[in-house]
């Protein structure tokens, strides 16, 4: 039976399910950088990639939360480290990129999960909110892609995963600058996919619906809103950070070699209901 793509082992009769799953999904020997890896969805993704075998560097500002995330991962037997830095400035992004690459080596996997959602009504949205939103949600993923993407292409393997939002596709509770940044981020993924996929570097986005994380603390504190949002899904519940683990491991590993430029909704059916 022919193999299913470059770098993949050929299925052999009698192969155990473990060997088969390892061939499809293992991240052994890979290095991953996860921005926003100290909290919420990014923390869950960092844990999943690390448990699947990758050495993971988590990036954010708050050193206490970073330290706790890495201590938990290491206690679980994972290889993990953190780099503190502010992704809202170009200098901050550049510094983080160099520091992150110095820990376990150049990354094979880049997850851009750090994000801010500042929600003033559009008429009151000032240039400061616009600039911060674009810097963290869009420019940082662009600059990190410019830094790491071409080197992944040179090495012939790479996975770039952005985390966007249903607000890339629809207005929702003062989408303002946030929805614009996430829409552009999905376009960036397609441009990156066009540039680097033929060199083994796939670029995709995970699209959350409403997920119960610190980012949504205000909305999550309103039981009626929480129940109303759950009712808009098909699964009947809101998202949890751990709902992103499987999709992230899939997009980071060998099994997704032919999936690129895509937006994959992990939203319990919210977007199609």
Among 42, 47, 149, 158, binds ligand NAP (CB under 6 A): 42
204 touches ligand NAP by CB under 6 A:
no
265 touches ligand NAP by CB under 6 A:
no
Angle at which helices 140-155 and 90-104 cross, to 10°: 30
SS3 state at 117 = coil
116 touches ligand NAP by CB under 6 A:
yes
113 touches ligand NAP by CB under 6 A:
yes
Using the contact rule CB under 6 A, the part of the chain among 4-12, 19-27, 213-221, 252-260 near ligand NAP is: 213-221
38 touches ligand NAP by CB under 6 A:
yes
86 touches ligand NAP by CB under 6 A:
yes
Nearer to ligand NAP, 136 or 160 (CB): 136
What's the Rg (C-alpha) of the chain?
Answer: 18
Using the contact rule CB under 6 A, the part of the chain among 1-9, 101-109, 169-177, 207-215 near ligand NAP is: 207-215
61 touches ligand NAP by CB under 6 A:
yes
Phi (first) and psi of residue 33, to 5 degrees: -115, 125
Among 26, 39, 197, 256, binds ligand NAP (CB under 6 A): 39
| Residue carrying structure tokens 């690129």 | 260
**Least distance in Å: CB of 201 to ligand NAP?**
21
Question: How far apart (Å, rounded) are the C-alpha atoms in residues 186 and 91?
Answer: 24
Which residue in the list 11, 20, 157, 178 is annotated as catalytic?
178
| Residue carrying structure tokens 């809101």 | 238
The verdict on whether 178 is a catalytic residue reads: yes
Q: How many CB atoms lie within 10 A of CB 87?
A: 26
Size of the site for ligand NAP (CB under 6 A): 28
| Nearest in space to 32 (alpha carbons), one of 235, 248, 221 | 248
DSSP string of 142-166, one letter each residue? HHHHHHHHHHHHHHT-EEEEEE--G
Is residue 90 within 8 A of residue 141, CB to CB? The reply is no
**Residues binding ligand NAP (CB under 6 A):** 36, 38-42, 60-62, 65, 86-88, 113-117, 136, 163, 165, 208, 210-211, 213-216
Q: What are the catalytic residues?
A: 178
């Amino acid at each position: 039976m022919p193999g299913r793509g470059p770098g993949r082992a050929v299925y052999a009769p009698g192969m155990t399910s473990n060997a088969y799953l390892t061939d499809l999904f293992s991240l052994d020997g890979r290095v991953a950088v996860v921005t926003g890896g100290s909290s919420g969805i990014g923390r869950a993704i960092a844990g999943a990639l690390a448990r699947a075998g990758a050495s993971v560097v988590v990036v954010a500002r708050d050193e206490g939360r970073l330290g706790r995330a890495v201590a938990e991962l290491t206690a679980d037997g994972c290889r993990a480290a953190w780099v503190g830095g502010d992704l809202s400035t170009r200098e901050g992004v550049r510094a983080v990129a160099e520091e992150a690459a110095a820990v376990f080596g150049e990354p094979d996997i880049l997850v851009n999960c750090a994000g801010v959602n500042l929600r003033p009504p559009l008429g009151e949205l000032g240039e400061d909110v616009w600039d911060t939103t674009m810097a963290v949600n869009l420019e940082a993923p662009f600059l990190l892609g410019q830094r790491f993407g071409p080197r992944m292409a040179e090495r012939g393997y790479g996975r770039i995963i952005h985390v966007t939002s249903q607000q890339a596709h629809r207005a929702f509770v003062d989408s303002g600058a946030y929805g614009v940044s996430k829409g552009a981020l999905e376009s960036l993924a397609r441009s990156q996919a066009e540039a680097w996929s033929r060199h083994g570097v796939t670029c995709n986005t995970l699209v959350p619906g409403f997920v119960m994380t610190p980012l949504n603390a205000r909305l999550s504190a309103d039981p009626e809103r929480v129940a109303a949002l759950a009712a808009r899904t098909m699964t009947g519940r809101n998202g949890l950070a751990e709902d992103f683990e499987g999709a992230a491991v899939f997009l980071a590993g060998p099994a997704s070699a032919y999936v690129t430029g895509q937006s994959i909704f992990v939203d319990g059916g919210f977007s199609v209901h």
